[in-house]
Chains A and B, each alone.
Chain A
Amino acid sequence: MSSTTPSQTTAADTLTVRVNGREVVVPRTMPEAVSGKAVPTTMIQACEAAGVTVPHYCYHPKLPVAGNCRMCLVEFGTPALGPDRQPLLNPDGSPVIRQSPRPAIACATPVSPGMEIYTDTDGVHAMRRAVMEFLLINHPLDCPICDQAGECKLQEYALDHGQAASGFDEVKVHKPKTVDLGPRILLDAERCILCSRCIRFTRDIARDDALGIINRGSYNTIAAYPGRQFDNNYTLNTADLCPVGALTSKDFRFRMRVWFLKESKSLCAGCGTGCNLLVGSRENRIHRFTPRQNDAVNSCWMCDEGRLNYRWVGRGDRLKSPLNRRSGATEWGTVLDETADLLRNASRGSVAVIGSARATCEELFLLKKLCQHLGARSDCVPREGEADGLLVSDDRNPNSHGARLTGVCFTEIGINLPYLANDIEAGKIRTLLVLGEDLTKPELELPTDLLGRLENLIVGDILPNPTVDQAHIVLPGCAHLEKRGTFINVNGRVQRFFKAVEPPGQAMPETGWLGGLLERLTGEAPARSAEALFNQLAEATPALKGLTWAALGDQGVTVEV
Chain B
Amino acid sequence: MAEEHRLITKQFREAGYTPDLDCYLRHGGYDTLRRALRVTPEQLRNEVGVSGLRGRGGAGFSCGLKWSLVDRRSGKPIYLVCNADESEPGTFKDRQIIHLDPHQLIEGMILACYANDVHLAFIYIRGEFAEGARILNLALTEARAKGFLGKGILGGTYDLDIHVHRGAGAYICGEETGLLESLEGKRPYPRVKPPYYPAVLGLYQCPTIVNNVETLCAVKHVLAMGGTEYAKLGRPNNTGTRLVCLSGHVQQPGYFEIEVGAVTFRDLIFDPAFGGGLREDRTLKAIIPGGASAKVFRADEKVTLGGPGLEGAGPKRKVDVLDLPYDFTTLTAAGSMSGSGGIIVLDDSTDIVAALANLSEFFAHESCGQCTPCREGSLWMAKILRRLGSGQGRAGDADQLLHIADNIPGGRTICAFGEACSWPVQSFVGKFKAEFETKEAGV
**A-to-B contact residues, CB < 8 Å:** 1, 39-40, 65-71, 73, 101-105, 108-110, 127, 130-131, 133-135, 137-138, 167-171, 173, 193-194, 212-213, 215-220
* Most chain A CB atoms below 10 A, which of B187, B192, B394, B403: B192
B16 lies within 8 A of chain A by Cβ: no
Contact partner of B377 (CB less than 8 A), chosen from A40, A71, A134, A171, is A134
Measured CB to CB, the nearest residue on chain B to A213 is B187
- Name the distance in Å between B327's Cβ and chain A's nearest Cβ: 23
B138 lies within 8 A of chain A by Cβ: no
Supposing A216-B170, A220-B369 touch, asked if A110 and B195 sit within 8 A by C-beta, the answer is: yes
- Name the distance in Å between A262's Cβ and chain B's nearest Cβ: 35
Measured between beta carbons, the chain A residues less than 8 angstroms from B37 are none
By secondary structure, the A interface counts as loop
Docked pose: A218 CA to B376 CA in angstroms: 6
Docked pose: A109 CA to B414 CA in angstroms: 12
**B380→A70 contact, CB < 8 A:** no
Docked pose: A431 CA to B378 CA in angstroms: 78
- Name the distance in Å between B394's Cβ and chain A's nearest Cβ: 7
What are 18 A-B interface contacts by the 8 Å CB criterion?
A66-B192, A67-B371, A68-B371, A70-B371, A73-B411, A108-B195, A131-B372, A134-B375, A170-B383, A213-B187, A216-B365, A217-B364, A217-B368, A217-B369, A217-B378, A218-B375, A218-B378, A220-B375
- Name the distance in Å between A308's Cβ and chain B's nearest Cβ: 32
Docked pose: A171 CA to B379 CA in angstroms: 11
B279 lies within 8 A of chain A by Cβ: no
Measured CB to CB, the nearest residue on chain A to B371 is A68
**B410→A102 contact, CB < 8 A:** yes
**B380→A137 contact, CB < 8 A:** yes
Measured between beta carbons, the chain A residues less than 8 angstroms from B364 are 217-218
Mark contacts of B368-398 with chain A using CB atoms, 8 A cut-off: 1 yes-contact digit, 0 otherwise. 1111110111111001100100000010100
- Name the distance in Å between A118's Cβ and chain B's nearest Cβ: 14
CB proximity to A under 8 Å, residues B67-108? 69
Contact partner of B373 (CB less than 8 A), chosen from A70, A108, A216, is A70
**Interface size band for B:** 35 or more
Docked pose: A1 CA to B376 CA in angstroms: 30
- Name the distance in Å between A171's Cβ and chain B's nearest Cβ: 7
Measured between beta carbons, the chain A residues less than 8 angstroms from B404 are 167
B400 lies within 8 A of chain A by Cβ: yes
- Name the distance in Å between A113's Cβ and chain B's nearest Cβ: 16
Measured CB to CB, the nearest residue on chain A to B192 is A67
B358 lies within 8 A of chain A by Cβ: no
Measured between beta carbons, the chain A residues less than 8 angstroms from B411 are 73, 101-104
**B367→A217 contact, CB < 8 A:** yes
Measured CB to CB, the nearest residue on chain A to B191 is A67
Measured CB to CB, the nearest residue on chain B to A108 is B192
Measured between beta carbons, the chain A residues less than 8 angstroms from B366 are 216-217
**B192→A135 contact, CB < 8 A:** no
Docked pose: A496 CA to B394 CA in angstroms: 63
Measured CB to CB, the nearest residue on chain A to B187 is A213
Supposing A1-B197, A217-B365 touch, asked if A169 and B394 sit within 8 A by C-beta, the answer is: yes
Measured CB to CB, the nearest residue on chain B to A104 is B411
Measured between beta carbons, the chain A residues less than 8 angstroms from B194 are 108-110
Measured between beta carbons, the chain A residues less than 8 angstroms from B370 are 68, 194
B407 lies within 8 A of chain A by Cβ: yes
Docked pose: A218 CA to B197 CA in angstroms: 26
Measured between beta carbons, the chain A residues less than 8 angstroms from B407 are 127, 130, 133-134
Instruction: List the 10 shortest-distance A-B pairs measured between CB atoms, nearest first.
Output: A102-B411, A130-B407, A134-B376, A220-B369, A67-B192, A217-B367, A218-B379, A170-B383, A217-B369, A68-B371
B232 lies within 8 A of chain A by Cβ: no
Docked pose: A130 CA to B383 CA in angstroms: 18
**A218→B384 contact, CB < 8 A:** no
B412 lies within 8 A of chain A by Cβ: yes
* Most chain A CB atoms below 10 A, which of B170, B192, B375: B375
Docked pose: A219 CA to B189 CA in angstroms: 15
Docked pose: A51 CA to B301 CA in angstroms: 51
Measured CB to CB, the nearest residue on chain A to B379 is A218
Docked pose: A135 CA to B380 CA in angstroms: 12
- Name the distance in Å between A516's Cβ and chain B's nearest Cβ: 62
Measured between beta carbons, the chain B residues less than 8 angstroms from A193 are 372
Docked pose: A219 CA to B368 CA in angstroms: 9
- Name the distance in Å between A263's Cβ and chain B's nearest Cβ: 31
By secondary structure, the B interface counts as loop
Q: Given A1-B69, A68-B189, 18 other A-B contacts at CB below 8 A? A: A67-B192, A67-B414, A68-B370, A68-B372, A69-B371, A70-B412, A105-B192, A134-B377, A134-B380, A135-B376, A167-B396, A168-B380, A194-B372, A194-B375, A216-B367, A217-B365, A217-B367, A218-B376
Measured between beta carbons, the chain B residues less than 8 angstroms from A71 are 372
**B414→A68 contact, CB < 8 A:** yes
- Name the distance in Å between B403's Cβ and chain A's nearest Cβ: 6
Measured CB to CB, the nearest residue on chain B to A103 is B411
Supposing A68-B414, A73-B412 touch, asked if A130 and B373 sit within 8 A by C-beta, the answer is: yes
**B372→A134 contact, CB < 8 A:** yes
Measured between beta carbons, the chain B residues less than 8 angstroms from A73 are 411-412
- Name the distance in Å between B426's Cβ and chain A's nearest Cβ: 15
Measured CB to CB, the nearest residue on chain A to B364 is A217
**A131→B195 contact, CB < 8 A:** no
Docked pose: A101 CA to B411 CA in angstroms: 9
B11 lies within 8 A of chain A by Cβ: no
Docked pose: A503 CA to B263 CA in angstroms: 88
Measured between beta carbons, the chain B residues less than 8 angstroms from A130 are 373, 407, 412
- Name the distance in Å between B297's Cβ and chain A's nearest Cβ: 24
Docked pose: A138 CA to B195 CA in angstroms: 31
Docked pose: A135 CA to B387 CA in angstroms: 22
Measured between beta carbons, the chain A residues less than 8 angstroms from B383 are 170-171
Docked pose: A130 CA to B375 CA in angstroms: 13
- Name the distance in Å between A72's Cβ and chain B's nearest Cβ: 11
Docked pose: A105 CA to B377 CA in angstroms: 18
Contact partner of B192 (CB less than 8 A), chosen from A39, A65, A101, A168, is A65
Measured between beta carbons, the chain A residues less than 8 angstroms from B368 are 216-217
- Name the distance in Å between A155's Cβ and chain B's nearest Cβ: 17
Docked pose: A213 CA to B197 CA in angstroms: 24
Mark contacts of B144-184 with chain A using CB atoms, 8 A cut-off: 1 yes-contact digit, 0 otherwise. 00000000000000000000000000100000000000000
Measured between beta carbons, the chain A residues less than 8 angstroms from B380 are 134, 137, 168, 170
B205 lies within 8 A of chain A by Cβ: no
Measured between beta carbons, the chain A residues less than 8 angstroms from B304 are none
- Name the distance in Å between A411's Cβ and chain B's nearest Cβ: 46
B413 lies within 8 A of chain A by Cβ: yes
**A218→B367 contact, CB < 8 A:** yes
Measured between beta carbons, the chain B residues less than 8 angstroms from A127 are 407, 412
Docked pose: A498 CA to B337 CA in angstroms: 65
- Name the distance in Å between A530's Cβ and chain B's nearest Cβ: 48
Measured between beta carbons, the chain B residues less than 8 angstroms from A66 are 192
Supposing A68-B372, A134-B377 touch, asked if A212 and B410 sit within 8 A by C-beta, the answer is: no
**A69→B192 contact, CB < 8 A:** no
Docked pose: A193 CA to B403 CA in angstroms: 21
Measured between beta carbons, the chain A residues less than 8 angstroms from B373 are 70, 130-131, 134
Docked pose: A104 CA to B369 CA in angstroms: 19
Contact partner of A69 (CB less than 8 A), chosen from B195, B367, B372, is B372
Measured between beta carbons, the chain A residues less than 8 angstroms from B375 are 134, 194, 217-218, 220
Measured between beta carbons, the chain B residues less than 8 angstroms from A173 are 379
CB proximity to A under 8 Å, residues B394-443? 394, 396, 400, 403-404, 407, 410-414
Docked pose: A134 CA to B374 CA in angstroms: 9
Docked pose: A1 CA to B69 CA in angstroms: 9
Docked pose: A467 CA to B406 CA in angstroms: 73
- Name the distance in Å between A218's Cβ and chain B's nearest Cβ: 4
Mark contacts of B126-156 with chain A using CB atoms, 8 A cut-off: 1 yes-contact digit, 0 otherwise. 0000000000000000000000000000000
Mark contacts of B343-363 with chain A using CB atoms, 8 A cut-off: 1 yes-contact digit, 0 otherwise. 000000000000000000000
- Name the distance in Å between A70's Cβ and chain B's nearest Cβ: 5
Measured between beta carbons, the chain A residues less than 8 angstroms from B378 are 217-218
**B414→A170 contact, CB < 8 A:** no
Docked pose: A68 CA to B199 CA in angstroms: 22
